[in-house]
Structure 1
């Protein structure tokens, strides 16, 4: 449950490397590889009468629902749908259960949200069921990727005002970006959609640090209309962080920058990241950007 306590919105990745997705018919729920789609983003709501139960709302304003409709006649699995009931009952309530690094989402009646595999019509379908075969045990495991963090509950997620450095250590201030924005990109980044993009779960203990980032456009500008994205990162080097962001975004040749607290200009990060897994705010500059007249901090 702690994975969701700070979450305003999440995306859920199943064992088939696909994401829980709300279909355009505003009723069906499936799996899709496009995790950057807004349809893969689910808003988290907390249930007043229970600290252990959440609701998940799709981009169409409907709730992830464990229905009583059988997926196939004669089979035990039942359909998972998007619905907007007049009265919010237990069918739209899910209890997160930790399982090592993953989460199971359990209904009130002990069934689990399951991403089915195999041949059609099972392929890409989502049901709720109790897996009886060892081969399908992993189908009820989900990775939780936090897309938006509740600001009131997460001081680290609060974006600082422009040109104000966070109170990390003095070394960390060089690598923290005070800007609170994000832009869609032309060229290689055009497939990303605002804050529906690649985001990692908040780290716990030794699980690494939070890296919040914006993506600059080809002119090095950042759109204030978009919120920061976020990943969890366990490394300590800038090159390693760059490779990680390139993998997440699917584009090579990016430059990871920080914004100078003195004049607001971008400069590329060098060598090592701040110690103690300090949270960072950075800007990703695409290879096509005309803003690559970037300087070292000493040149500022």
Structure 2
């Protein structure tokens, strides 16, 4: 695949703005927000099989990203993705990159038709990585990964006239990358960490129970401006369905549902996630209805 032709090492960024990470136990894999740690770097090896080119991803511990046959969790679809180092590498370490247009977004497909998937939601699912085939539309993005190049293989002519390969760390504008990158202008260029900083506004959220007590607290970067987009993103993050996104009134501290557009200029937000069917949410709707005329409330809701 053209995207991986001259790349030596990469990071893979999921739809959750997290990076594929090799865990310190040398077996499991997960997602992490830090782009600077060594365990989020993967060495790329190209493997040709017939008309198809596969890639193998080797962790900093010298083990390969592997699609295992072990079930992930009882009652949950998907199988474990692990690190392995077999004397004879099987097809479970081969991943077929399927590029999305000319972007640096790819799906990584096993030889058996499953895809590398980044899971969101509440523990024990949060930050896990599995392989399966998504059948629900809102989980299609879960199998998309952004390729972040770290090192390239650069061919250089030696004094004897032969070509020698060496790797270089390069600075790259990821937003303008549409194919094989141009060779760097200087021999040693440091990769710029700022290219790894998440884009969009920072969203702090809390999932609360019937009493309004926080069960879960977390945060993520969000690129959209609409409440509907934010709601779908929070459903992915929390693993919940049919939720209402609320915030607290600065005047009285009461919870009210968010509507229409989010504040401009990528303003950091603190929101509360509530199940629509909960007693707490029904109580909030009653409070809102008291404050507004019935006909206006019906339109607003």
> Where on the TM-score scale, by shorter chain, does this alignment land: which range?
0.5 to 0.7
Return the match for 2:137 from 129, 134, 149. Answer: 134
Q: Secondary structure at the match of 2:116?
A: strand
TM-score (norm 2): 0.55
Distance (whole Å) between structure 2 residues aligned to residue 46 and residue 73 of structure 1 = 34
Return the match for 1:228 from 172, 186, 189. Answer: 189
Residue 48 to residue 98, structure 1, CA distance change in 2 (3 Å)? closer
Residue 93 of structure 1 aligns with which residue? Answer: 94
Deviation at 1:99, TM superposition (A): 1.8
* Contact 1:67/1:80 (8 A) holds in 2: yes
Distance (whole Å) between structure 1 residues aligned to residue 72 and residue 167 of structure 2 = 42
TM-score (norm 1): 0.55
Residue 31 of structure 2 aligns with which residue? Answer: 31
Residue 44 to residue 121, structure 1, CA distance change in 2 (3 Å)? same
Residue 249 to residue 118, structure 1, CA distance change in 2 (3 Å)? closer
Distance (whole Å) between structure 2 residues aligned to residue 69 and residue 36 of structure 1 = 30
* Contact 2:35/2:196 (8 A) holds in 1: no
Return the match for 2:177 from 203, 206, 209. Answer: 203
Q: Secondary structure at the match of 1:39?
A: helix
Residue 247 to residue 88, structure 1, CA distance change in 2 (3 Å)? closer
Distance (whole Å) between structure 1 residues aligned to residue 19 and residue 171 of structure 2 = 12
* Contact 2:171/2:189 (8 A) holds in 1: no
Which ranges of structure 2 fall in alignment gaps of 5 or more residues? 158-165, 199-301
* Contact 1:200/1:230 (8 A) holds in 2: no
| 4+ residue runs over 6 A deviation | 196-199
Residue 49 of structure 2 aligns with which residue? Answer: 49
Q: Secondary structure at the match of 1:3?
A: helix
Which ranges of structure 1 fall in alignment gaps of 5 or more residues? 159-179, 183-194, 215-223, 232-244, 251-300
Larger strand fraction of residues:
2
Confirm whether residue 144 of structure 1 aligns to residue 144 of structure 2.
no
Residue 256 of structure 1 aligns with which residue? Answer: none
Say how many residue pairs are matched. Answer: 188
Q: Secondary structure at the match of 1:104?
A: strand
Deviation at 1:247, TM superposition (A): 6.2
